[in-house]
Structure 1
Amino acid sequence: MATIQDIADRLGVSKGTVSKAINNAPDISETLRKTILDTAVEMGYTRLRRPKNDAKRFCIIIENMEYEEPHQFGYDFIIGFRQMAEPAGYVVDVIPVTENFQKKTPYDVFMLQNDYTGAFVLGFSLNDPWMKDFRTSHTPTVLYDNYIPANPFIASIGIDNSEGMALAVSHLKKLGHKKIGYLSSALGSYIMQVRHKAFFQAMKQNGLKAEADSAGASYYVTKCIEKHLPRFLNMGMTAVICSHDQIANAAMVQCQQLGYRVPGDISIIGFDDLPLCAYTSPPLTTVRQDRTILGKCGFYAMDSILNQVSIGSILIHAQLIERHSTGPAPEAPKKTVVSRIPEQ
C-alpha cells in the first residue's frame, strides 16, 4: 500500500505538500493538486488508516433518479443501504452528480479527496464518464443495474431481469395471449439492453413468436407510445410488456383514449412496481423489484469487497404482482388505428 512519502518521492515534492493536496488545503495550486491526486490514485494510495474514533464513510452516488421522497424510485435503495451500513459504524452521504461533474473530476480522485471508503452507485447510463473510470478503479464500488467485468473492486446488484420477464410472458401465455409486444425506453442503458434481450428469450422459451418488430424503443415516453403502440395494435397484439411502469401507465391511458379496454381488449404489464401501480386505472400488473432489499444487497456486496471477497453480481428473485391490467386474450382483434408519428 502506497504512503504519502512514496507519493512525495515519486513527484519530488515534500510530504507536507502531498498531505495538503489530499486534504484539499487552499494554499497549493490546482495544477499541483491534480498531479498529486492523480499520482496517488495511480499508486493505489488509500486513506483507510484512520484513528479508532474516526467513522468510516460511504457515499451513495446518484444520477437521473429521484430519491428524496418515499414515493420516488431511489428512496428505498438509500433506506435499505443505511439500515445495514449505519449500525455497522459507517457514515453514509448521498451525493447527486451530473455528467459535467464527472468530466471534471475522475472517480477515484473524487473518492480520495472526500475520504470515502466505498460507493453505492445508482442511475448511471452507459455513456457516463465514470463508467469508464470504473473499469480500472481500485475503490470498492457497487453498481445498481450496471456491470463492469474483470475488476475485483466493482460489484453489481439488481433483480434477475430474465426471471422477471419470463414470469411476465408466462403469465400472459396462461391467459391465452400469443401476440405480445414490448415497449422500452431507449437502449442506452445497460438494464434496458438486458430487459430487451430478456423479452425475446422469454418469448422463445414459451414457444411464442417474436420478430424484431415486436419491440419498440424511444428515448421519450410519449414518443415511444405514439410511435409504437398503434403499430402493435394494428399488428393484432393482444398484450404489451413495458420496460418500466411509467411507459405501462402511459400505454394504458393511450389505449383507453383510442377506445380499447384494458384488459378486455389488450393486457399491459409494467416493470419495477412503483407506488403508483396500485392506483392506476386499472391497477397495473407489474414485475416487482424490492428496492429496500436491493439497498441492503448493496451494503452486503460492499462489505464483501472490503473483506477481499470479490463479488461479481448479486441478483435477487423477481416477483410478478398480478393486478387488474391483465386478463384473458380477446377472441378477435379490435379495429386498427393510425400512428400520429410516421415510421422512420
Structure 2
Amino acid sequence: MGTTLTDIASLAGVSPATVSRVINSKPGVSEELRENVVKAIRELGMSPDRLQRNGKKPVAIISPDLVNPIFPEYVTTLTTLLAQRGLLSFSCSYTLAGVSEEQYITMLQDQPLTGAIFLAGSYDTLDTPSDTYDPLLTRNVPLIFLNGAHREMKGVYLGTNNSKAMTMALRHLFDLGHQRIGLLLGDRKHHPSVQKYEAAERFFLENHIEHPSAMTIWTTYGFESGQVAAMELVRQGATAIACANDQLALGSIRAATVLGLRIPEDISIIGFDDSPSMKYMTPSLTTIRQPLPQICRAAVSSLLASSRGAATDSQHNELLFDPELIVRESTGRNRNA
C-alpha cells in the first residue's frame, strides 16, 4: 500500500489536514511546519514535486494604483515574462483610500509564494521603516524592489539610473539654449525624485547656471498637480521644464496651453518614463525612456535565481539600467538664447 497522508503526518508531527494544506499549497501553515512536512515527504521516498501538483507557487506583483500608465506596462510585461517561465502572477494595487501596501503584505504573509515584486512602496521613501517587509522576509520569500532606493534589507533592487536620466534631460535642454529650467519633481522624500534633484544641482553647478530655489517645485505625481506647479514655474520665468514623470509633463503641457504659450516655441517640456501613447500626444512628448523590458527581464531572472537558493540570507543587490533620451515635439530651441 502506498504512502498516506497519515504516514506523512505521523513522521512530521502534524495533522493530516496540515499535510494536505502543504501539498496543495494552501495558506495557514507556518514555514517551520511546511518544512517539516517537506522533509517527511523526502524521507518517505516521495518526490517533492508532489507539493506542486496544483501548479507552481504564484508571484505577487505589488504596486500603487494603476493610474500612472507606466505601472500597467510594468505589470503586463512582468506577467507575460513570468507566464513564459510557467509562473502564475497576480497584482495587488494599493491606494490611499483602499487597501494599503502594509495590509497587502499582511494578507500575503501566509500565502505560498515563489516571490514578490514591488513596483513602488515605502522602501522608495526616505526615513521610512523597513520592517514593513518583515512578514515576507522572515519566511525567506524572495523580494524584488523596482524603481526605489537601495535599503539595508535582503532583496534585489532594480531600476533606471535616475541621476543619469536627469543629467541627460538637462543636457538636452541646455544644448537647445535653455538656462531658466524649472524642475518639477515628486514628493520631497521620494528617493527617485531626490536623486534627480541632486543630479540637477550638480549639473547647474558644473555648467555655471544660476538656479534659484523657486525654480524647483516638489509636488505629488499626477496631471493636476503638474498643471498647477507648471503655472508657477512659468511665472518664475522658466523657458523649459524638466519633469519627474510623464504625468507631470502632461500637466505642464496643459498649463502652457491654458496660459496661451506655444510648445516648443515659447516653452519646452520634457518628461520621464516614456509611457505608452506619449508619442501620440499633440505635441508628442520628449521624454527619458526607462529601459522597462530590460528591468523586467532582470527582475524575473533575479526572482527565479533567489527562489532556487542562489541568494544568501543576507544578500541585497542593486542594479541600475541606463535610460534613453527620446526627442519629440515638446522641446525646441530657446528663441531668446
TM-score, with structure 2 as normaliser: 0.75
Query: CA–CA distance in 2 between the matches of 1:200 and 1:239?
Result: 16
Cα displacement (A) at 1:83: 4.7
Cα displacement (A) at 1:318: 0.1
Higher relative contact order (CA 8 A, sep 6+): 1
Query: CA–CA distance in 2 between the matches of 1:58 and 1:115?
Result: 7
For residues 153-168 of structure 1, what are the structure 2 equivalents within 5 Å?
154-168=155-169
Cα displacement (A) at 1:131: 5.2
Letter in 1 for 2:88: V
Whether the 8 Å CA contact 1:285–1:321 is kept in 2: the answer is: yes
Query: CA–CA distance in 2 between the matches of 1:318 and 1:46?
Result: 47
For residues 1-344 of structure 1, what are the structure 2 equivalents within 5 Å?
15-16=14-15, 19=18, 37=30, 40=31, 50-51=48-49, 54=53, 55-66=55-66, 72-88=69-85, 90-98=86-94, 100=99, 102-104=101-103, 106-107=105-106, 110-111=108-109, 113-126=110-123, 132-134=131-133, 136-137=137-138, 138-152=140-154, 154-219=155-220, 221-226=223-228, 228-306=229-307, 307-309=309-311, 310=315, 312-331=317-336
Q: Alpha carbons of 1:282 and 1:234: their partners in 2 closer, same or farther (altered >3 Å)? A: same
Query: CA–CA distance in 1 between the matches of 2:159 and 2:253?
Result: 27
Query: CA–CA distance in 2 between the matches of 1:313 and 1:144?
Result: 10
Letter in 1 for 2:180: K
Query: CA–CA distance in 2 between the matches of 1:326 and 1:105?
Result: 41
Q: Alpha carbons of 1:162 and 1:258: their partners in 2 closer, same or farther (altered >3 Å)? A: same
Letter in 1 for 2:149: Y
Moved more, 187-196 or 136-145: 187-196
Query: CA–CA distance in 2 between the matches of 1:104 and 1:260?
Result: 45
Cα displacement (A) at 1:277: 1.3
Letter in 1 for 2:108: F
Whether the 8 Å CA contact 1:155–1:311 is kept in 2: the answer is: yes
Cα displacement (A) at 1:259: 1.7
Q: Alpha carbons of 1:101 and 1:15: their partners in 2 closer, same or farther (altered >3 Å)? A: farther
Letter in 1 for 2:132: D
Query: CA–CA distance in 2 between the matches of 1:174 and 1:294?
Result: 29
- Post-superposition Cα deviations, 1:87-144, rounded to whole Å, max 9, x if no partner, equal 43x422213143646545655x724x32112111123245999953336543211011
Query: CA–CA distance in 1 between the matches of 2:305 and 2:205?
Result: 36
Query: CA–CA distance in 2 between the matches of 1:48 and 1:213?
Result: 61
Identity of aligned residues (%): 20
Aligned length: 302
Unaligned runs of 5+ in 2: 1-8, 40-47
- Post-superposition Cα deviations, 1:208-235, rounded to whole Å, max 9, x if no partner, equal 2323322102225424432x33332233
TM-score, with structure 1 as normaliser: 0.74
Query: CA–CA distance in 2 between the matches of 1:165 and 1:197?
Result: 9
Q: Alpha carbons of 1:191 and 1:92: their partners in 2 closer, same or farther (altered >3 Å)? A: farther
Root-mean-square deviation over aligned CA pairs: 3.7
